[in-house]
Structure 1
Amino acid sequence: MPISPNQGSSGGGTLVTITGTNLSGTTAVHFGTRLATSVTNVSPTQVTAVSPSGNGSVGVTVTTPGGTSNPIPFFYVGAPFKQSLSPTTGSTAGGGTVTITGTGLSTATSVAFGANSATPTVVSDSVITVAAPAGTAGSVGVSVTTAGGTNNGLSYTYIEAPTITTVAPAEGSTSGGTAVTITGTGLTSTDQVAFDGNPAPFTVISDTAVSAVTPPGTAGAVDVTVTNGAGTATATDGFTYVAGPGI
């Protein structure tokens, strides 16, 4: 007598389908010693029932005018507990791998980032990974759904990948120290500005502007990059180092 699913939340409420023979006239379904709710005799070979609350492993039995069936195991699963997720930020385009740790995660079937869901990969009862779906810039709640229920309480912040429109002024001394304004988009969460790969001190002015001071460099055109948690924007040959005069 198969039962599907064979596990559900310890809080009850799991709709279970039981198949077998001679099930007509079913009068009761028990999960251990507890009576199921909403029992429906679908056919002589199928009965559905909603599990009551419970814990651990119990035997499910069907009672008809002809007697009570042999028990079939059903496993109660506690609600998941989430401890942390990493990283906590990612691109609005999605696709970044997020690792969630906690307990009771072995039956995870879905992870929701706000209104958007993704299917996780179960690593162990304490670790799952999931590719973040695409989202809108800003913070969203993260919830995990398992056979034991749904739990939330963590958050994930979507950020836009940066772009660079202009670098002004576009040239300065090889000794460094030139104050430069970089304009573009998605600059609020900038965590690095570099000239030819060399990090520069910077200040975020707005989502469309960052000011930076050039580090020393070698004469010639170099790339300017702006990086945040969603990616890196590059202004190819965006700044030109000019050597000082010699006499």
Structure 2
Amino acid sequence: MPISPNQGSTGGGTLVTITGTNLSGTTAVTFGTKPATSITNVTPTQVTAVSPSGTGTVGVAVTTPGGTSNPIPFFYVGAPFKSSLEQTSGPLAGGNTITINGTGLATATSVSFGANSATPTVVSDNQLTVTVPVGTEAGAVAVHVTTAGGTNNGLSYTYVDVPTVSTVTPTSGPTSGGTGVTITGTNLESTESVTFGGATAPFSVVNSTTLSTVTPPGAAGAVDVVVTNPAGSDTAAGAFTYVAAPGI
């Protein structure tokens, strides 16, 4: 007499299907010493019941006017606990794989990022990986992990859109570097790097539309200014010109 699923939340509420023979007229389904909270879909070969709350491993038995069946094991599983996301942000387009650490993750069946969900790959009871689904809009969303023991929350993931660069001010400075430059655009709050002609520049985020940076040394001539965040990069071609010092 198999049952499916054979595990569920300690809080109860798992819909369990029991298959066998001579099940017509079922009067009771018990999970250990507790009766099921409801019994439906009774046929000669199948009974559907909802598990009560419980812990550990219990025997599920079906009672009919003809007697009580042998018990089949049912495993109660606690709700998952998530301790960390190894990657907390990524592109709005999704498609990147992240790792979730915690406990009770062995039976994970889905991970939701806001309104969208994905099927994870279970590495162990303490870890799973999942490919992030496409986001609805840029910003933070709650991350939920669903297992046989239930659903838990408590972590946040931030969808990031590709940056754009609108202006670079001033547009020129000495080859020795050290020029303070303001970059304006969009989606700049999660900037990871700024480069002038491929050379990395120190920067600070003022807000989602403004960056403050200082030019590194560079060769004379126009160079590209590139702003990068977890979603991608935008290039302002030839936006800054290095000017050589005069010689006598």
Tell me if TM exceeds 0.5: yes
Alignment correspondent of 1:10: 10
Matching residue of 2:127: 127
Aligned to 1:42, what secondary structure does the other structure show?
coil
Contact 1:24–1:41 at 8 Å: present in 2 too?
no
* TM-score, length-scaled by structure 2: 0.92
Retained in 1: the 8 A contact 2:111–2:118?
yes
Q: Which stretch of structure 1 is more off in the superposition, 226-235 or 141-150? A: 226-235
Counterpart Cα distance in 1 of 2:131 and 2:41: 41
**Deviation (angstroms), 1:92:** 2.0
Deviations along 1:69-89, one digit per CA (max 9) or x if unpaired, are 122221111111111112112
Q: Render the CA deviation track for 1:210-247: whole Å, top value 9, x for unaligned.
A: 23221111123322121223332222333222212212
Equivalent position of 2:171 in the other structure: 170
Displacement after TM superposition at 1:197 (Å):
2.6
**Cross-structure match for 2:87:** 87
Q: What is the CA-CA distance between 1:55 and the residue it aligns to?
A: 1.7
* Alignment partners' CA distance in 1, 2:112 and 2:122: 15
CA distance in 1, matches of 2:179, 2:218: 11
8 Å Cα contact 2:26-2:42 kept in structure 1:
no
Deviation for aligned residue 1:172: 2.2
Residue deviations 1:15-64 (CA, integer Å, cap 9, x gap): 11111111111111111222112112521111111111122222211111
Superposed displacement of residue 110, structure 1 = 1.0
Tell me the amino acid that sits aligned with residue 160 of structure 2. Answer: I
Percent identity between the aligned chains? 74
In the alignment, the residues of structure 1 paired with residue 40 and residue 205 of structure 2 have an alpha-carbon distance, to the nearest angstrom, of: 63
Shift of 1:123: 0.7
Q: Is the 8 A contact 1:26 1:41 kept in 2?
A: no
Partners of 1:203 and 1:71 in 2: CA distance? 65
Aligned-partner Cα distance in 2 for 1:203–1:34: 61
What does 1:41-52 align with in structure 2 at a 5 Å threshold? 41-52=41-52
Structure 1 residue matching 2:42: 3-state secondary structure: strand
Unaligned ranges ≥5, structure 2? none
Q: 1:65-110: CA deviations, max 9, x gaps?
A: 1111122221111111111112112222222222111111011011
CA distance in 1: counterparts of 2:150 and 2:212, whole angstroms: 48
* Counterpart secondary structure, 1:43: coil
Tell me, in whole angstroms, the C-alpha distance in 1 between the residues paired with 2:50 and 2:209.
Answer: 55
* Whole-angstrom CA distance in 2 between matches of 1:41 and 1:109: 25
In structure 2, distance between residues paired with 1:165 and 1:244? 28
Letter matched to residue 48 of structure 2: T
Alignment of 1:188-203 (within 5 A): 188-203=189-204
Whether the aligned pair in 1 keeps the contact of 2:178 and 2:214 (CA below 8 Å) is yes
Query: What CA RMSD, in Å, does the superposition of the two structures yield over aligned residues?
Result: 1.7
